[in-house]
Structure 1
Amino acid sequence: MSDGVGEDQDLDALRKQIDALDSELLQLISRRAQYAQQVASIKTCVDPQTQFYRPEREAEVLRRIMALNDGPLDDEEMARLFREIMSACLALEQPIKVAYLGPEGTFTQQAALKHFGESAISLPMAAIDEVFREVEAGAVHYGVVPVENSTEGVINHTLDSFMDSSMRISGEVVLRIHQHLLVSSTTRRDKISRIYSHPQSFAQCRKWLDAHYPQAERVPVSSNAEAARLVRTEWHSAAIAGDMAAKLYDLEKIYEKVEDRPDNSTRFLIIGNHDVPPSSEDKTSVVVAMRNQPGALHALLEPFHRHQIDLTRLETRPSRSGAWNYVFFIDFRGHQDDPHVAAMLEEVRLRASELKVLGSYPVGVL
């Protein structure tokens, strides 16, 4: 009995310490929110059209938190907690409106909330070019669009949209993509003969489907969220989708993480109307059109090599200006305001028929 009494006393003491810390955390978070309001007031007095959301500042804060973290929570978990605090404080200044490739429940919405936090107002759009139009028109502050998947490669529609748009890239998000086989409460699990999903998701789960449901009809739809919605109306169907779609449509995961590659991930871009100042770790995206002549690719890449600039992606797309002409989409480390990057870009501009800087932005933190 004495041991049990001692343990109860120890638990009570720990709970009192936790309660005291909770009270202290509450006061500190409230003070942070008050400082955020003061920052907003100063910014508004200086410039009524000021930007309240500063991508480079948020990236620097999150990196600093991760560097200071000693555990036991891991760095990303700690950064996510601070992301939500920052999101809520920013909403006191000005709620961020974000357009994303919808409908509700897609991985793109998940990426938007991962980047901007749950206090952001996320608005679904039916197509990638609609996201671009909403941002360009000023109806929203930012947009989120997918650009590449580690399994299936680039999303060409996003690259093509940049060719006709004045939008700037303000950030990036890399999201681990976990696909699940979902059913409703009325599904007869032993009679599944139809599976809905987005074509990209089918491609990411091809081997698993071949092994487990080789006879089931695979029906491609516009999004995984739409696949989840359809399953609710049919007793013999299932959907491949993610956690947000499962939660939104109250579906059960009968198989989890059915993607063929465990490292399956998708990169998303944040688009906006403004250039982003340098942070401590940046990336730049450009699109380059080269003259159709021998050695054009070498001429394009040689300045990158000479200035020791790290290329992270190189994609080729057909040019709309003529047959057999191509444009190159290039991502590289560094900010366009860095002296050595600016010098390299000037050399490329002289060699190319056209150079368009899509934006310099912080490397994704989360």
Structure 2
Amino acid sequence: MSSDAAASLDALRERIDQLDNDILHLISERARCAQEVAEVKLDEDPGTRFYRPEREAQVLRRIMAMNKGPLSDEEMARLFREVMSACLALEQPVKVAYLGPEGTFTQQAALKHFGESAVSLPMAAIDEVFREVEAGAVNYGVVPVENSTEGVVNHTLDTFLESSIRIAGEVVLRIHHHLLVGENTRRDKISRIYSHPQSFAQCRKWLDAHYPHAERVAVASNAEASRLVKTEWHSAAIAGDMAGKLYDLEVIHEKVEDRPDNSTRFLIIGNRDAPFSGSDKTSLVVAMRNQPGALHDLLEPFHRHRIDMTRLETRPSRSGVWNYVFFIDFVGHHDEPHIAAMLDEVRLRAADLKVLGSYPQGVL
């Protein structure tokens, strides 16, 4: 290396060191400010909430709008998400229940939304996540609600019918499946593959092409699949990065999902509504009377008020044979006047209507 190049590198490294010092100072200053915010909140209300979903969404949107690169908007928002998560933990760590076990995509979604400083607690079933939140044992829960390939998670929708829990947020996770093996497995001798049924469905064509004769064994989660193959000789697991790292498995085929845009949407559930954030979504469940034109009567106010409906699902009602309820997502917050007017009209036409929550649209 020439002397001029060496001098230039030394100068750049000194500049980086100085910038690191500035970043360290500013992060520490932000953390101290967060502590002062906590003190003010506690003085006003000892039972105050420290985590504010609408506030975090507004901050992340502002950061992404101000970002001028070279890091992407999403990468910059991820960095700030972790800073915010660490600062919040100084005030009060957020406790989050998720559909376990450890290493699942649901845990990955929880950490994506709340940051690595959140305390994440695995639950054995979706209804257990709801119960932990309802009992106040945790602040929030994370449950899957729909996959872009396989559709809705019916258990999640059905649990809302019997619960008073509110939706406080959403997070969309790009799902990448890998074929993983333990250190004892010979790649040319794989005769059994473990995975969750949903993952098998999302990788069906790839498996048919590459392992048509391997036995496919469905288990409760991809993390459980990874645990099983850790010490087996002729088996593999289909799972994600987190499960593979948790059990120290080797990836022998990456991204084996049939659709490259395979994504799952998760809901953040809590005990309170999220205030208006400026870019929100509302979810509700509606039971209509069993009569001709009922679906038209339900949808007409959405059209007339120009409400952007993003999802409509039908589930059997628990109240009678061949009766159905509709799960609806649409853009807007229920406190907005035109949304409130539309909901009032739907209530007059429906047998029952329950707003499940208005919440910030997913930022990351």
Q: Give the TM-score taking structure 2 as reference length.
A: 1.00
Aligned equivalents of 2:295 and 2:43: distance in 1?
50
SS at structure 2 position matched to 1:100: strand
How far residue 233 of structure 1 moved from its aligned partner, in angstroms, is 2.3
Q: Deviations over 1:11-70 (max 9, x none)?
A: 000000000000000000000000100000000000000000000000000000000000
Aligned equivalents of 1:275 and 1:153: distance in 2?
26
| Cross-structure match for 2:326 | 328
**Please, which of 65, 80, 87 is the counterpart of residue 82 of structure 1?**
80
| Cross-structure match for 2:255 | 257
| Cross-structure match for 2:43 | 45
Alignment size in residue pairs: 364
Moved >2 Å (runs of 4+): none
| Cross-structure match for 1:58 | 56
**Please, which of 176, 179, 182 is the counterpart of residue 178 of structure 1?**
176
Say whether residues 1:227 and 2:229 are aligned partners. Answer: no
**RMSD, aligned CA:** 0.5
Aligned equivalents of 1:73 and 1:232: distance in 2?
37
| Cross-structure match for 1:205 | 203
Q: How does 1:151-300 map to 2 (within 5 A)?
A: 151-300=149-298
Aligned equivalents of 1:101 and 1:18: distance in 2?
42
How far residue 97 of structure 1 moved from its aligned partner, in angstroms, is 0.2
SS at structure 1 position matched to 2:97: strand
Q: Deviations over 1:238-275 (max 9, x none)?
A: 00000000000000110000000000000000000011
SS at structure 2 position matched to 1:147: strand
| Cross-structure match for 2:125 | 127
SS at structure 2 position matched to 1:240: strand
| Cross-structure match for 2:337 | 339
Aligned equivalents of 1:29 and 1:49: distance in 2?
27
| Cross-structure match for 1:145 | 143
SS at structure 2 position matched to 1:30: helix
Amino acid at match of 2:207: L
SS at structure 2 position matched to 1:171: strand
Aligned equivalents of 1:267 and 1:58: distance in 2?
19
Q: How does 1:94-113 map to 2 (within 5 A)?
A: 94-113=92-111
Amino acid at match of 1:348: V
Aligned equivalents of 1:23 and 1:320: distance in 2?
60
Aligned equivalents of 1:254 and 1:280: distance in 2?
44
| Cross-structure match for 2:134 | 136
Identity of aligned residues (%): 81
How far residue 280 of structure 1 moved from its aligned partner, in angstroms, is 1.3
Q: Give the TM-score taking structure 1 as reference length.
A: 0.99
Amino acid at match of 1:112: A
Aligned equivalents of 2:319 and 2:163: distance in 1?
16
Aligned equivalents of 1:118 and 1:320: distance in 2?
39
Aligned equivalents of 1:121 and 1:235: distance in 2?
35
Q: Deviations over 1:213-246 (max 9, x none)?
A: 0000000000000000000121000000000000
| Cross-structure match for 2:311 | 313
| Cross-structure match for 1:358 | 356
Aligned equivalents of 1:29 and 1:356: distance in 2?
42
Structure 2: state its 5+ residue gaps: none
How far residue 199 of structure 1 moved from its aligned partner, in angstroms, is 0.2
Amino acid at match of 1:92: L
SS at structure 1 position matched to 2:252: strand
Q: Deviations over 1:126-183 (max 9, x none)?
A: 0000000000000000000000000000000000000000000000000000000000
SS at structure 1 position matched to 2:169: strand
